[in-house]
């Protein structure tokens, strides 16, 4: 316990030193001394340490590093957002505060997580509701019909839909081999028909809404949870075959899918129109080198949607590839610690939930960074906790709050 406390203190000091330096740098990059970054820095550090103190005092058994590391990513995002667009940074501070509140509230509301297993059909209804919501009431932004608008407030329902999908799949796969609902189908495969239909319907909604990134993430989550829940490699193989068939059909039927693939295969051919964002992002990353141009000394604002889709490119340009790699390591550590908790659990439902949520965050990170680097077609999703966006931030904090709660129960 003392050793973990020592590591925690050292980690907090390292984070405090780096983020404090960044905020101080923001005060002097303009022609005049700007006090606002100092005020924002004091606010976010106060919320961070107050939340950490509550967690240690009221819930001492769980994994504390997940909370620390997730907040470090949020603060790096706020620093970069202030550099790029001050109005977005101010909103992001509020979203971070609300997100930390959601994280802590999750610990308080959920008394025993494994008791949620009985709400399988509630999770199913919520999954289908959130996945279809934008299809029925959505507004098109950036080529995708995936936003619900309430006055000045915008909400991306599929973000929360993915969390409910994880909860539903965990509860459904917990029954694998125990229930046979269809008499004409022999064996334990009968218990997989219902979750398979829910996944296919969810994927269908994402394709129709042009949320290709979310469709890919849903597929990754489903395959990983399917394998963990059944331990059958043949189901994974069948899933990949179906995915290839679905991807090929989508390519034939939807113009926007064909366009994304063409841009990915030859981005320089469309450098002044469709792939302008991709090319500028690659130039931005390369121009930063290992150590970056310095905060405020780059030119990342030439990239469209820089505060959402391409904030990682801006970080690499001004803070350097080394900071970009450090951010990826932080994501990996969060994923590692979550999966480590999952391996120590005896409850299958909790194990599947924590695996699905950690894979969701890791997959979203890899998909957006892969798109920025040109490894896969660009999908236009956000970098968890760093990119501007309240829906994404609240969803990730809610997911990590569940992971934290399960870690506490697993250590008892």
Taking the mean position of all CA atoms in its chain, how far away is CA 363?
Answer: 8
Per-residue model confidence (pLDDT) at position 161: 92
d(CA 80, CA 94): 16
Q: Please report the DSSP string for 288-312 in residue order.
A: HTTT-S-TTSS-GGGSTTTTTTTHH
Instruction: Report, in this order, helix, strand and coil percent for the chain, each rounded to 5.
Output: 75, 5, 20
Per-residue model confidence (pLDDT) at position 398: 94
pLDDT tens-digit profile, the chain (412 residues): 445 567 777 888 888 888 889 898 889 887 778 889 999 999 999 999 898 888 888 888 888 889 999 999 999 999 999 999 999 999 999 999 999 999 999 988 887 887 888 889 999 999 999 998 877 776 766 556 667 776 677 778 888 999 999 999 999 888 776 655 555 455 567 678 888 899 999 988 888 887 878 888 999 999 999 998 888 888 888 888 888 888 888 778 777 778 788 888 888 887 787 788 888 888 999 988 888 898 888 888 888 888 888 899 999 999 999 999 999 999 999 999 999 988 888 888 989 999 999 999 999 999 999 988 888 887 778 899 999 988 889 999 999 999 999 988 765 4
Residue 344 phi/psi, 5° resolution?
Answer: -90, 0
Per-residue model confidence (pLDDT) at position 118: 86
Per-residue model confidence (pLDDT) at position 315: 94
Tokens matching residue 111: 């008394």
d(CA 356, CA 396): 12
Per-residue model confidence (pLDDT) at position 230: 84
Quote the crossing angle between the two packed helices 321-343 and 276-288, to the nearest 10°: 100
Which DSSP category does 175 fall into? Answer: T
Per-residue model confidence (pLDDT) at position 313: 92
Per-residue model confidence (pLDDT) at position 188: 64
Per-residue model confidence (pLDDT) at position 234: 84
**What digits encode the pLDDT tens for the residues 249-274?**
877 877 777 878 888 888 888 778 77
Residue 366 CB partners (closer than 8 Å, separation 6+): none
**What digits encode the pLDDT tens for the residues 325-370?**
999 999 999 999 999 988 888 888 989 999 999 999 999 999 999 9
Per-residue model confidence (pLDDT) at position 184: 47
Give the pTM: 0.91
Per-residue model confidence (pLDDT) at position 98: 94
Backbone dihedral region for residue 298 (phi beyond 0: left; psi -120 to 50: alpha; all else: beta)? beta
- Residue 326, classified by CB atoms within 10 Å of its CB into exposed (0-12), middle (13-18) or buried (19+), is middle
């Amino acid at each position: 316990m003392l050793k973990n406390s020592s590591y925690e203190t050292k980690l907090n000091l390292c984070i405090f030193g780096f983020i404090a330096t960044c905020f101080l740098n923001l005060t002097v990059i303009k022609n005049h001394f700007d006090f606002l970054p100092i005020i924002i820095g004091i606010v976010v550090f106060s919320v961070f340490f107050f939340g950490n103190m509550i967690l240690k005092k009221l819930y001492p058994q769980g994994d504390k590093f997940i909370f620390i590391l997730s907040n470090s990513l949020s603060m790096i995002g706020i620093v970069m957002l202030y550099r790029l667009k001050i109005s977005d940074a101010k909103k992001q501070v509020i979203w971070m505060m609300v997100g930390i509140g959601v994280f802590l509230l999750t610990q308080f509301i959920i008394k025993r997580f494994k008791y949620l297993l009985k709400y399988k059909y509630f999770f199913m209804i919520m999954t289908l509701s959130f996945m279809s919501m934008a299809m029925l009431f959505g507004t098109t932004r950036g080529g995708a019909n995936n936003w619900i608008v309430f006055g000045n407030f915008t909400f991306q329902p599929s973000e929360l839909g993915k969390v409910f999908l994880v909860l539903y799949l965990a509860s459904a796969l917990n029954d694998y081999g125990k229930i046979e609902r269809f008499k004409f189908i022999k064996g334990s495969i009968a218990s997989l028909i219902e979750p398979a239909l829910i996944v296919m319907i969810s994927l269908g909604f994402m394709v129709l809404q042009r949320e290709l990134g979310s469709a890919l993430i849903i597929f990754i989550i489903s395959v990983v949870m399917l394998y963990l829940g059944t331990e059958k490699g043949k189901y994974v193989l069948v899933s990949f075959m179906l995915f290839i068939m679905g991807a090929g059909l989508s390519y034939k039927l939807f113009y926007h899918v064909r366009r994304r693939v063409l841009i990915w295969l030859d981005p320089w051919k469309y450098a002044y129109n469709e792939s302008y964002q991709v090319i500028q992002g690659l130039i931005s990353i390369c121009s930063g080198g290992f150590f970056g141009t310095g905060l405020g000394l780059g030119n990342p604002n030439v990239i469209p949607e820089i505060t959402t889709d391409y904030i990682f490119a801006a970080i690499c340009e001004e803070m350097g590839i080394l900071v970009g790699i450090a951010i990826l390591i932080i994501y990996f550590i969060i994923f590692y610690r979550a999966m480590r908790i999952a391996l120590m659990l005896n409850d299958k439902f909790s194990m599947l939930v924590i695996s699905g949520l950690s894979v969701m965050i890791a997959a979203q990170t890899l998909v957006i960074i892969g798109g920025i680097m040109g490894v896969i077609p660009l999908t236009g999703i956000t970098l968890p906790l760093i990119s501007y966006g309240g829906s994404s931030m609240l969803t990730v904090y809610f997911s990590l709050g569940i992971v934290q709660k399960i870690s506490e129960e697993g250590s008892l």
